[in-house]
Amino acid sequence: MNTMSSLVEIDMSQNSLGGGQAIQYNLPTAKLERLNLAGNQFGGQIPYSIFSMNNLKYLNLNHNQLQGKMTDVFSNLGSLTTVDLSFNSLTGDLPEGLSSLSSVKTLYLQNNQLTGSINVLADLPLSDLNVANNRFTGWIPSQLKKINSLQTDGNSWTSGPAPPPPPFTAPPSNRRKSPAKKDSGSSSSDGKSGISGGAVAGIVISLLVVGAIIAFFVIKRKRKSKREEHFEQHQPFTSFPSNEVKDMKPYEESTTIDVDSLASPASVGLKPPAKIERNKSFDDDDDFSSKPVARKNNTKPIKAVVYSVADLQIATDSFSMDNLVGEGTFGRVYRSQFNDGKVLAVKKLDCTVIPFQSSEDFVELVSNISILHHPNLNELVGYCMEHGQHLLVYDFHRNGSLHDLLHLSDEYSKPLSWNSRIKIALGSARALELRNRVPGALPQRWT
């Protein structure tokens, strides 16, 4: 269908198409103004290709089987006037991209499982809004109460008047949501999985070391941003709150272990990652001078494959829930299978938790992760940064989580020998020793 570049309207509504499959990613985007796929049986998530439909004015995907978080495809759709995503199974908070719909008049989101606040909709020029029968919380913005047609029943709104905005509040278009709380591990303990009958799929990429690298990156970038503001405004430096690291959420994904590697005599002791330079503390007096701050480009060459969003969307069936194998503080992990039969794991980073300000920030993170090498650490295979999405690609391991290996026995996870269990205990002890012996190696709440 992507060869039909002159299409202006697609209307396939009320045909029971899809059969639970995702909407194909290669929709024509050049001149399309109206897309109506309502009343079908399409599953998966909202396709990324909608992001490139700059001329789109009408989007109707109601009464389908769409699920998972709302894909943030709206930031480039300034011409869109009507959006209908009602009667699906969409979850999570509303994406910030919705605040960019400068022409939208009608927005239907009713009968989904959306959560969080609707503040991102406050400044839209809406005349018809329906958010009924979701799981929204908080207050209804006063701007929205002036809409001619407003339906908000079936949510958990906070009663009473909304509190006044805090002083020096940033403009609404620059607001960022607070990171949504993630459920620890999407794979249930009863052993069921949509990927393979009875297997609890897991991957090694959720190891503590990778989580610590990401946390370190977030903290470092926040400090850098604060320092740049200091020099731009010529204000005295104010030290960071002492609880900045304390407020970081723990990494909650289940780690995985390659059983075969446990049989080898190789040491499983964790060592500090080499070649990662620690930033100079902001407490040093010499760190602040009258000289302007310049970004240093010390990123090493990355030996990893660059994937496109389209390729990963095909391989994960549009990031369908059937391919979801785990979820943690920094995002979700999906199983992906490519045309050549290769199976990989794709970690889709939640940009509300790690709000990258530029592509260089993400490349720096990828560079830091790519240099990590350890017998128990799954090395980075590739990455993707397109359409505002940031994804990491790893080898896929289906050996299950440590809990599964210690307590379960099925066709995919075999009982661990006593020697293997001793190795696991020793490796865990060495990791704890590293944390206590090297000050600041890992935040306290990450262990």
Extract the annotated binding site for ATP: 348
Contacts of 199 (CB under 8 A, 6+ apart): 191, 193, 398, 400, 410, 411, 412, 413
How many other CB atoms sit within 10 Å of the CB of residue 107? 24
Q: What span, in angstroms and rounded, lies between the C-alpha atoms of 39 and 64?
A: 6
**Helix, strand, or coil here: 375?**
coil
Q: Which of 183, 179, 203, 152 is nearest to 96 (CA)?
A: 179
Contacts of 66 (CB under 8 A, 6+ apart): 42, 43, 44, 45, 46, 85, 88, 89, 90
- Chain-centroid distance of CA 70 in Å reads 11
Sequence-separated contacts (24+) of 283-291 with Cβ below 8 Å:
283/239, 288/227, 288/230, 288/237
Binding residues: 348
Q: In what order do the strands lie in the sheet with 389-395?
A: 305-306, 380-386, 389-395, 343-349, 331-337, 324-328
Running DSSP on this structure, what letter comes out for residue 168?
Answer: T
Beta carbons of 195 and 335 less than 8 angstroms apart: yes
